[in-house]
A = this chain, B = another copy of it.
Amino acid sequence: MARNPDADNAPAPKTVKNRAAEFDADKAKSFKVVGSRPPRPDGMDKVTGRARFGSDMVMPGQLVGLILRSPHPHAVIVSIDTAEAEALSGVKSVITRDDFAENADHHDVLCNIMAREKALYEGHAIAAVAATSKAVARKALKLIKVDYQILPHVTDVDEAMAPDAPLLHADMITSGVTPAPVKPSNVAARSEFGHGDVEAGFKQADVVIERDFKTAATHQGYIEPHACVANVGADGMSELWCCTQGHFHVRQVCASLLGIDVSRLRVTASEIGGGFGGKTTVFIEPVALALSRKAGRPVKIAMTRDEVFKASGPTASSSMNVKIGVTKDGRITAGYGEFRYQGGAFAGAPAEFGAMSAFACYALDNVQTIAYEVVTNRPKGAAYRAPGAPMSVYAVESVIAELAGKIGMDPIELRLKNAAREGSKSSYGPKFGSCGLVETLEAARDHPHYSSPLGPNQGRGVASGFWFNFGGETCSNLNINADGTVTIAVGTPDIGGSRAAMCIMAAEELGIPYDKVRAIVADTSALGYNDTTEGSRVTFSSGMAVIKASQKAITEMCSRAAMIWDIPAEAVTWEDGHAKPSGANAGDFEPMSLAEIAKTASKTGGPIAGHHEYNADGAGVSFGTHIVDTQVDPETGRVDILRYTVVQDAGKAIHPDYVEGQFQGGAVQGIGWALNEEYIYGEDGKLQNAGFLDYRMPVASDLPMIDTVIVEVPNPGHPYGVRGVGETGIVPPLAAIANAVSAASGVRLTELPMSPPRVLKAIDDAKVAAE
């Protein structure tokens, strides 16, 4: 979660009021707009090419910015000579590490966007130029002389943890260890979660299985490369257009790196061609701003696909150990897991989230998870949909499936027997409130898919998954226009249909048709701080802000009607899009519609609006269960996905099309991760498949239609019961597919991706072992 960083060190209030339960069960019984499926507001623009993405902004006099990147995975940068590049005609500015001051608040970001003492990965930015054309900029890059002193490198997480591994940061002391280690290492942090006594628990078990697992780093695979246009004025007033999941976060980080007040930087989020967590951080934005400041002209930087792979943030690769014990009748007596994630050259691998969510599906008496956050000579990772959870859950759910087989119990029954439910203590600490894991398991069990027949070389896998979901700082403005239409401004970029969801919720609350409401993503100057679109927070948090803003506008509209009728404001209620006199002494007036009240606004006090700013909590956890059938070709090791069903608790699906889309998208990304996607590094520490030809993402022909079942267990923390839905869907697929492959092939694979060579080798090894 990218939170307002200043807040972390701020004094906390002595008392903070508990938020009341928000869910309105009565209203939920009679939804008129919520749950409908109107056309998506961004759809037309995207299919007709009108939507403006990161590189679609053009500013007068704009320059082309290009970045020189390290060819070495690990090297001291002895010197950088930019003199010749600067002298080249058409070059307007050249920047290096010398153009950024040290920054205590964002040290790692600073070192990542432009290497300082060392280049820490292949692709690490070393210098940048802004020139009048791409040809000139390219030529200038070639004229920059960098003197590197090459160092040994490490890219594998286990190797990086070895005592003699090349050290990335000479001052990195593992946090979370008492007493603190004296020697630096590549382990940035260790953390631990759990309760009970796992050793005692394993003793109660009839069957205990322990396995080691590895997963590869994968990329979010968004279509649109990072792109931005920066424009810094001679007086420091700055603007930035960029594709991002969080323009307020971008503003904050860039303002800090540039050493300017937040108010001096105005950031506009373009339409976004996919993010999935990968656009929650900054890479090129501060570079473009620094180039623009130096050049005195706007600068556009757009990454190539090669740069996206080598220098943006994929997710972590992992090495894990999981051990689970179970009684013959299916009670899990203990669960243990160790999760070692490498997150590239700087701290921040999502190992902690992995350790927290590994056993979240289960109500356990004895559970312990340990997380290690490791640095390697790879690009610094970024968030990727439920960061950290798919890997750890892959490990746990693989062992669960194996245990079910061992004790001869249906795997869904085993899960139901141990499922987390309201009131059970989670493996990471807090007790669960209302939640829907049991409901998704039951729905999966009862789904026709689960009982359909399978053929030879086919197998079925099941897995459950969990995500926390977040709230966070959120603001919304809602304005009632004179013609009775409504404009909503939110500060959370729309990566999954949130504008439609906002319009639906406002229409529901105000009692007007969906098409009378338009939501836009405002730039940073129009709203207070908004946390980034991540953590499956937007439909929940921005949605609640829109509902609260609607309610404030309704209060104002009632008071305007009261003024017109000359009755007390308390004597007016809002019903079905109309202000109505209410109560014995209110008088006999025709109800006034929103449009009628809007028309009079200038005479009754001026424009009518509603605003809401808050720090949302109560997001409500989300669980899902996936069923997948695979067919494994024993001759080639190729895995086909035959059928796939996602069952997930959405709390309440505001716009079911988008919810289903999230379910399907999560499953598809999980399929890619499970079967083919991986960052392949050579011995030389260089990425060998930095492009979509060699980095094998699933395409339409690889996939069946993904079936979806929306379970709705209302979240008490939201007026309409909404839970986040974006991330949980990528958590179960890795394990579900591994379980299906195991069922189809008869061999258990413990390393991802399960690409044909690896599957074939596992089958062949098993044959050899059996002989």
Within 8 A of B (CB), among A588-617: 596, 599-609, 611, 613-616
A347 to chain B, nearest CB (A): 22
Copies of this protein in the assembly total 2
**Is residue A477 within 8 Å, beta carbon to beta carbon, of the partner chain?**
yes
Beta-carbon contact of B16 and A485 below 8 Å: no
Q: Is the CB of A15 within 8 A of B566?
A: yes
Let me know if A607 and B473 touch, CB within 8 A: yes
Whether B60 contacts A529 by the Cβ 8 Å rule is no
Cβ of A396 < 8 Å from any Cβ of B? no
Contact status B603-A482, CB under 8 Å:
no
Contact mask for chain A residues 52-63; partner B; CB cutoff 8 A; 1 contact, 0 none: 100010111100
Of residues A477, A524, A604, A615, which shows the largest number of chain B Cβ atoms within 10 Å of its Cβ?
A: A477
Cβ–Cβ < 8 Å partners of A83 in chain B: none
A605, B600: Cβ atoms under 8 Å?
no
In the complex, per-residue mask of A451-484: 1 if CB is within 8 Å of any chain B CB, else 0: 0000000000000000000000111010111110
Residues in B with CB closer than 8 Å to A608 are: 528, 613
CA separation between A296 and B11, bound complex, in Å?
54
- Complex CA distance for A375 and B637, rounded to whole angstroms: 86
A516–B260 Cα gap in the complex (Å)?
11
B235 in contact with A44 (CB, 8 Å): yes
CA distance A10 to B231 in the complex (A): 45
Answer yes or no: A517 CB below 8 A from chain B CBs.
yes
Residues of B contacting A11 in the complex (Cβ-Cβ under 8 angstroms):
564, 600
Interface of A is mostly: mixed
Q: Are A525 and B13 in contact (CB under 8 A)?
A: no
CB atoms of B486 and A263 under 8 A apart: yes
A767 contacts the other chain (CB 8 A): no
Chain B residues whose CB sits within 8 angstroms of the CB of A231 once the complex forms: 50
Kindly identify which residue among B4, B237, B524 contacts A44, using a CB–CB cutoff of 8 Å: B237
Across-interface contacts of A538 in B (CB, < 8 A): none
Residue pair A233, B44 in contact (C-beta under 8 Å): yes
Tell me the complex Cα distance, A100–B48, Å.
25
For the complex, give the distance between the alpha carbons of A14 and B565 in Å. Answer: 7
Q: Which B residues lie within 8 Å of A481 (CB)?
A: 261-263, 529
A14 touches B566 (CB 8 A): yes
Contact: B527 with A15, CB < 8 Å? no
Q: Determine whether A526 belongs to the interface, using a CB cutoff of 8 Å to chain B.
A: yes
A237 and B518 contacting across the interface, CB-CB below 8 Å: yes
B565 touches A234 (CB 8 A): no
- A604 cross-chain contacts in B, Cβ below 8 A: 13, 16
Contact with B along A386-414 (1 / 0, CB 8 A): 00000000000000000000000000000
Tell me, yes or no, whether A563 is within 8 Å of chain B by CB: yes
CA A665 – CA B211 in complex, angstroms? 82
Residues of B within 8 A of A528 (CB): 479-480, 606-609
What separation, in Å, do the CA atoms of A4 and B39 have in the docked complex? 31
Q: Are the C-beta atoms of A615 and B600 separated by less than 8 Å?
A: no
Residue contact A262 to B479, C-beta cutoff 8 Å? no
In this complex, which of A12, A44, A518, A525 has the most chain B Cβ atoms within 10 angstroms of its Cβ?
Answer: A525
Chain B proximity of A93: nearest CB distance (Å): 15
Residue of B nearest to A595 (CB): B6
| A592 → chain B closest CB, angstroms | 9
- Also in contact, A233 and B48, with CB within 8 A (given A4-B602, A6-B599): yes
A14 to B: closest C-beta gap in Å = 4
Interface residue A505 (Cβ < 8 Å from any Cβ of B): no
Q: Does A417 contact B (CB under 8 A)?
A: no
Inter-subunit contact A263/B60 (CB<8 Å): no
Confirm or deny: A41 has a beta carbon within 8 angstroms of a beta carbon on chain B: yes
- With A234-B44, A263-B485, A520-B266: A10-B603 Cβ-Cβ less than 8 Å: yes
Say whether B261 contacts A516, CB under 8 Å.
yes
Query: Contacts A45-B233, A528-B608; is A563 near B15 (CB within 8 Å)?
Result: yes
Q: Which of B10, B14, B16 contacts A599 (CB 8 A)?
A: B10
Closest to A489 in B: B526
Interface residues of A in 185-200 (CB under 8 A from B): none
Nearest CB in chain B: distance from A476 CB, A: 11
**A179 in contact (CB, < 8 A):** no
In A547-561, which residues have CB < 8 Å from any B CB?
A: 560
Q: Does A115 contact B (CB under 8 A)?
A: no
Please, what's the 1-or-0 string for A261-275, where 1 marks a CB less than 8 Å from any CB in chain B? 111101000000000
Interface residue? A78 (CB, 8 A): no
Is there contact, CB below 8 Å, between A516 and B263?
Answer: yes
Bound form: Cα–Cα A59–B49 in Å: 12
The CA of A613 and the CA of B489, in the complex, are separated in Å by: 16
Q: Could you say which residues of chain B place their CB within 8 Å of the CB of A262?
A: 481-483, 485
What CA separation (Å) do A292 and B570 show in the bound complex?
48
Residues of B within 8 A of A261 (CB): 481, 483, 485, 515-516, 518
Q: Are A52 and B44 neighbours in the complex by a CB distance under 8 Å?
A: no
User: Across the interface, which residues of B come within 8 angstroms of A216, CB to CB?
Assistant: none
Query: Within 8 Å of chain B (Cβ to Cβ): is A32?
Result: no
CB pair B609–A605 under 8 Å, yes or no, is no
CB pair A50 B606 closer than 8 Å: no
Instruction: Say yes or no for A522: interface residue by CB 8 A criterion.
Output: yes
- Chain A 472-513 residues near chain B, CB threshold 8 A: 473-475, 477, 479-483, 485-487, 489
Which residues on B sit within 8 Å (CB–CB) of A56? 59-60
Residues of A near any B CB (own CB < 8 A): 3-4, 6-7, 9-16, 39, 41, 43-45, 48-50, 52, 56, 58-61, 231, 233-235, 237, 252, 255, 261-264, 266, 296, 473-475, 477, 479-483, 485-487, 489, 515-518, 520, 522, 524-530, 560, 563-566, 596, 599-609, 611, 613-616
**Pairs of residues from A and B, 4 with the lowest C-beta to C-beta distance, nearest first:** A528-B607, A263-B485, A526-B526, A606-B615
A-B residue pairs in contact (CB < 8 Å), sample of 25: A6-B482, A6-B483, A9-B599, A10-B602, A13-B563, A13-B566, A13-B600, A44-B237, A45-B235, A58-B58, A58-B60, A255-B483, A261-B483, A263-B516, A264-B485, A473-B607, A480-B528, A489-B526, A520-B526, A528-B609, A529-B602, A606-B613, A606-B616, A608-B613, A609-B611
Other than A473-B601, A528-B609, give 12 A-B pairs with Cβ distance below 8 A: A3-B602, A7-B600, A7-B601, A13-B566, A41-B237, A262-B483, A263-B486, A477-B477, A481-B529, A489-B526, A522-B525, A529-B607
